[in-house]
Amino acid sequence: MQPAVTGAISDEQWRSAVAADLADACGSRERALAAVRAWSDLVPVVDQEVVALLRAVREVAPVALVSNATTRLERDLERQGLAGLADRVVNTARIGVAKPDPRVYRIAAERLGVAIERCLFVDDTAANVVAAREVGMSGLHYRRVDDLRRTLSPLLAEEQPESRER
């Protein structure tokens, strides 16, 4: 998957390679293509509590989505109704490096126009959070929405709708 999430190959090329590997394993190209198509059509369930928290945060601070994703990320966000959820999307397939590479976090802060020390990085992979902390961000290893709510509560308590300081 590394070539796909760093943009060395497109999402289509990666899915085609996955289908070829499956065909080798199961002996049927048709079954492999059908499996990849079915898997590609799945729409993950979006946690609406997290979405609501991110919308609230955007009222007081900029938000970036940083994802180790393929060239299909933007289409998937649109399909899930999430295209406007973040101020910036940092898709690793578009920048050529993937988390936990330190450049990913620096690029995200730069694109938001925010000092790296003022950024909170949230991820469900501990190694990515550690890497973000190593470049100077605060970090939260996401496991439950209550952890995120608790971490964001000081920021949301200070919410002043008339000014959105960046």
What tokens appear for 12 in the block?
Answer: 């289509």
Residues 93 and 61 both lie in one domain: yes
Residue 123 has pLDDT above 80, yes or no: yes
Residue 71 to residues 3, 13, 25, 60, 91, Cα–Cα distance (Å): 11, 10, 26, 30, 8
How far is Cα 120 from Cα 32, in angstroms, rounded to an integer? Answer: 41
Residue 162 belongs to a domain: no
Residue 164 belongs to a domain: no
pTM as predicted? 0.84
Residues 17 and 99 both lie in one domain: no
Q: What is the mean pLDDT of residues 74-100?
A: 96
How far is Cα 8 from Cα 17, in angstroms, rounded to an integer? Answer: 13
Q: What is the mean pLDDT of residues 119-124?
A: 98
Q: What is the mean pLDDT of residues 103-111?
A: 98
Domain count, the chain: 2
Task: Tell me the percentage of the chain whose pLDDT exceeds 90.
Answer: 74
Residue 165 belongs to a domain: no
Helix, strand, or coil here: 64?
strand
| Rg (alpha carbons) of the chain, rounded to whole number | 18
Residues 66 and 110 both lie in one domain: yes
What tokens appear for 2 in the block?
Answer: 């590394």
What tokens appear for 124 in the block?
Answer: 């469900």
How far is Cα 49 from Cα 161, in angstroms, rounded to an integer? Answer: 20
For the ranges 107-111, 133-137, 152-156, the lowest mean pLDDT is seen at 152-156
Contact in structure between 118 and 137 (CB atoms under 8 Å): no
The pLDDT-based confidence of 157 (bands split at 50, 70, 90) is confident
Residue 106 belongs to a domain: yes
Q: What is the mean pLDDT of residues 50-68?
A: 96
At residue 107, the pLDDT reads 98
Q: Which domain holds residue 117?
A: 48-157
